[in-house]
């Protein structure tokens, strides 16, 4: 009798466990899967913000599944993968979007954004709405929020004071090799010199180049402070990424969950923004402690020259007329 009861208990328990597992599986299947593909690592400030802020905030209706180091999709192919329905999320640059829509190159030009707050204001303004709609209508990709990557600054071998673009005349400034980057170097007043990033430290050390430009965290990590004498806070590019999601996936969510997901993305971007700004502020003192001069030049003079050169060049032919002036006014 006791054995029979025991067996019935085991059977009942097994049945209950099966039902529970089935219910759990069904519940998991009800959740939308959000696979994110990015070339960034798991320790990157952007991916950390998404993993620690975004993921928990959407956990009741979505499963966030990040894939780092371009393990799922090759860098530069993520937007197309989302458009084809093969991926749910990515972190995209303005340069990548400009491959589909040349108008987006304006957001990768020097001195368009003044700082992180202005960058966010531009993204949330009516001026940016046609760009969002363009991407949604043509690619079925939704731009959720803008992430602040940092400000690019000049880092030079000499101790000559730099106040205006004219002071950079003849300065061999290392830039990435594409014409877009080379144009930016000329817009700053320098003599742009293409060089691979891996060669920059030696180039600075030997004098093959007179300087380079990067965000302050990159300058620290690459130890460029060992072979340079100053950092000029030109802030000539306030760099960004957009967090993107499949519009088809987003549209299938309930209005309440759409609002939750949007807030989660905005909160993640804000978390990353504040941490990056704090780090940049701390690094100013770090470089001073290393013996470098760190100062702000006449940024208005740099901005005026750069914007004039861009607007007079072929690079701006696809930009909506008057957009730069309107963004300046924000």
The yes-or-no verdict on residue 68 having pLDDT over 70 is yes
Mean pLDDT of the chain: 92
Its domain, for residue 275, covers 32-329
As a whole-number percent, the residues of the chain with pLDDT over 90 amount to 87
Tell me what pLDDT residue 16 has: 44
Q: pTM for this structure?
A: 0.86
Total domains in the fold of the chain:
1
Asked, for residue 27, whether it belongs to a domain, the answer is: no
Asked, for residue 208, whether it belongs to a domain, the answer is: yes
We report the CATH number of the domain holding residue 202 as 3.40.190.170
Note whether 209 and 195 are within 8 A (CB).
yes
Average pLDDT over residues 20-34: 62
Asked, for residue 101, whether it belongs to a domain, the answer is: yes
Asked, for residue 223, whether it belongs to a domain, the answer is: yes
Asked, for residue 261, whether it belongs to a domain, the answer is: yes
Q: Find all residues with CB under 8 Å of 92, minimum gap 6, and list them.
A: 78, 79, 143, 241, 242, 244
Average pLDDT over residues 245-262: 98
Average pLDDT over residues 131-155: 98
Q: Which residue has the higher pLDDT, 63 or 27?
A: 63
The yes-or-no verdict on residue 291 having pLDDT over 80 is yes
Asked, for residue 24, whether it belongs to a domain, the answer is: no
Residue 68: CB atoms within 10 Å: 17
The C-alpha atoms of residue 187 and residue 277 are separated, in whole angstroms, by 26
Which residues, listed in sequence order, are joined to residue 153 by a DSSP beta bridge? 214
Tell me what pLDDT residue 30 has: 86
The yes-or-no verdict on residue 18 having pLDDT over 70 is no
- CA distance readout (Å), 268 to 38, 50, 55: 16, 6, 9
pLDDT in tens, 169-195: 999 999 988 888 999 999 999 999 999
Name the band, by pLDDT with cuts 50, 70 and 90, for residue 112. Answer: very high
Asked, for residue 1, whether it belongs to a domain, the answer is: no
Checking 182-188 for CB contacts under 8 A at 24+ apart, the result is 183/309, 183/310, 183/313, 183/315, 184/109, 184/110, 184/236, 184/237, 184/306, 185/213, 186/309, 187/110, 187/305, 187/306, 187/309, 187/310, 188/110, 188/154, 188/213, 188/234, 188/236, 188/302, 188/305, 188/306
Q: Which residue has the higher pLDDT, 10 or 170?
A: 170
Q: Find all residues with CB under 8 Å of 111, minimum gap 6, and list them.
A: 236, 237, 302, 303, 306, 307
- Could you give the dihedral angle defined by the CA atoms of residues 304, 275, 66 and 31, in that order, rounded to the nearest 10 degrees? -110
* ∠ Cα 50 76 209 (to 5°): 95
pLDDT in tens, 30-48: 899 999 999 999 998 999 9
Tell me what pLDDT residue 29 has: 57
The yes-or-no verdict on residue 11 having pLDDT over 60 is no
Note whether 72 and 87 are within 8 A (CB).
yes
The yes-or-no verdict on residue 57 having pLDDT over 50 is yes
**169-207 burial code (b ≥16 CB/10 A, e <16):** eebbbbbeeeeebbbbbbbbbbebbebeeeebbebbeee
The yes-or-no verdict on residue 12 having pLDDT over 50 is no
The C-alpha atoms of residue 135 and residue 133 are separated, in whole angstroms, by 5
Asked, for residue 51, whether it belongs to a domain, the answer is: yes
Tell me what pLDDT residue 177 has: 84
Tell me what pLDDT residue 195 has: 94
Q: Find all residues with CB under 8 Å of 271, minimum gap 6, and list them.
A: 49, 52, 53
């Amino acid at each position: 009798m006791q054995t029979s009861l025991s067996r019935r208990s085991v059977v009942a328990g097994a049945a209950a466990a099966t039902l529970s597992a089935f219910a759990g599986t069904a519940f998991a299947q009800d959740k939308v899967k959000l696979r994110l593909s990015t070339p960034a690592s798991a320790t990157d400030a952007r991916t950390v913000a998404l993993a620690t802020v975004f993921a928990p905030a959407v956990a009741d209706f979505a499963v966030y599944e990040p894939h780092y180091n371009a393990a799922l999709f090759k860098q530069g192919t993520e937007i197309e993968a989302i458009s084809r329905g093969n991926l749910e999320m990515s972190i995209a640059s303005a340069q990548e979007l400009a491959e589909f829509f040349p108008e987006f190159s304006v957001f990768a030009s020097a001195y368009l954004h003044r700082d992180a707050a202005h960058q966010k204001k531009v993204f949330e303004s009516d001026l940016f709405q046609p760009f969002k709609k363009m991407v949604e209508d043509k690619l079925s990709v939704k731009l959720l929020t803008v992430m602040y990557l940092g400000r690019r600054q000049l880092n030079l071998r000499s101790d000559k004071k730099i106040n205006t673009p004219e002071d950079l005349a003849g300065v061999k400034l290392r830039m990435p090799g594409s014409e877009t980057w080379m144009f930016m170097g000329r817009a700053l007043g320098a003599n742009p010199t293409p060089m691979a990033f891996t060669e920059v430290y030696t180039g600075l050390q030997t004098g093959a180049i007179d300087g380079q430009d990067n965000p302050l965290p990159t300058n620290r990590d690459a130890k460029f402070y060992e072979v340079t004498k100053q950092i000029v806070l030109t802030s000539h590019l306030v760099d960004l990424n957009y967090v993107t999601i499949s519009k088809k996936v987003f549209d299938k969510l309930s209005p309440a969950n759409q609002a939750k997901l949007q807030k989660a993305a905005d909160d993640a971007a804000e978390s990353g923004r504040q941490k990056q700004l704090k780090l940049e502020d701390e690094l100013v003192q770090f470089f001073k402690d290393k013996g470098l001069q760190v100062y702000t030049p006449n940024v208005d003079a740099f901005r005026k020259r750069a914007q004039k050169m861009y607007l007079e060049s072929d690079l701006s032919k696809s930009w909506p007329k008057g957009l730069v002036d309107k963004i300046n006014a924000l």
